Every structure is written in C-alpha cells, then in structure tokens.
Amino acid sequence: MTPLRMTFAAMVLVATALPAQAEKISLNAISKYLNGLTTAKSQFTQINDDGTISTGTIYLKRPGRARFEYNPPTDALVVAGGSQVAIFDGKSNAGPQQYPLKRTPLNLILERNVNLNRAKMVVGHKYDGTATTVVAQDPENPEVGTIELKFTSNPVELRQWIITDNAGSKTTVLLGELEKGGSLGSSLFSITAAIKQRVRN
C-alpha cells in the first residue's frame, strides 16, 4: 500500500444512530455545515485498503489546511498547507512525498467555499435511516478519485469519510467527537516546519 493510500484511508468517520424522525440531510445544509467548520480537532481511526488499522489525531483549519498525526508504531505524518499535501513516512529518512492539494479528494472539504450543488460534483446522495452519505468528486478532475462523507443530524455532524483513489483503493477514517472552534497555530500546517522538526528528531 502506498503512503498516499494509507494517508487518505485514515479519514473515515463513525456514524451514530439518529432519531427515527430524521431524514436525508440536504446538500445545501451539508455545504453550510462544512463552510462553518473553521477549525476542528479529533481522534481518528484509519482503516487502510489492506485491512491494517492505525490511529492518531487530526487537526483541520479551513480553508486548505489539515494535519494527521499518527500514533506509534506508525510514526507517520500528513500535512496539508500552502496548496500542497506532504506525506512523511515514519520508516523512511527521505523527505516527504508532496502532491498538489487540488489533485486529492481531500480538497473538496478544505476549499474556501464548499458548494455541493456544483454540476457533476455529487455522484451519490443517500440516507440509510441512520446517516446521510454524500459521494463527491472534483468536476474538473474526476480522475483523482472520490470522497464519501457520512453525516448524522440534529445537529449536522461529520462522522466518517472514505477516500477512493484513482486505482480504486479505499481509505476509511472514523472520527471521534469533533472539538470545534479552538485556536490552531499556523505552524501545525507548515510543511517546512514539519520537515525541520523531523530532521531534528
């Protein structure tokens, strides 16, 4: 499994039960929720395409910034910032692999203005009696893969996501309770700072 697949698999959320009267959450309501999610922190469990499991802490700072700190023994780190995603492999002394953020499905929830009603962006929108699931892709770059987001309601809350890359590999991330609205320093999302820190260690 490549580090990129491992990274994106770590983004699936745990869905909790909804009251019986709950209904499918509209795309407008989900877009509004994501646009209002300025900062957030949560524990996460990642299920990789090969069945391996890793855990860690995720930090989000919209627009455009995210950080995935993996617990030992994984010792990996993923930082999104400055329009790039950097993947640090804990088993390698080489520098991080870097990709343009726009070339990853993660960009769909980190962009400044999320609008799930854009033409050809949402390719799936369903409700299973417990949670609402939205499958989205970049209309301009559908080949990079999809992100499947799972939400519960009352109030709307992101619980899980599954990223499917262009090779069909899936990475699932289950989120714990989101701690929203706190202050997160810019250095958390600096790829340069992360490189210097890992060199010192």
How much of the chain exceeds pLDDT 90, in percent? 70
Q: Tell me the C-alpha distance between 88 and 111, whole Å.
A: 23
How far apart CA 132 and CA 164 sit, in angstroms, is 18
CB 4 within 8 A of CB 165: yes
Burial of 119 (0-12, 13-18, 19+ CB in 10 A): exposed
Taking the alpha carbons at both ends of the chain, their separation in whole angstroms is 26
In order of their start, the domains of the chain are 3-200 (2.50.20.10)
pLDDT tens sequence across 1-60:
554 444 444 443 333 333 444 689 999 999 999 999 999 999 999 999 999 999 999 999
The amino acid at residue 194 is: A
- What is the dihedral sign for C-alpha 194, 198, 200, 201? positive
Q: How far apart (Å, rounded) are the C-alpha atoms in residues 58 and 65?
A: 11
Q: Kindly report, residue by residue over 122-150, the tens digit of the pLDDT.
A: 999 999 999 999 999 999 889 999 999 99
How far is CA 200 from each of CA 56, 171, 196, rounded to the nearest angstrom?
A: 21, 30, 6
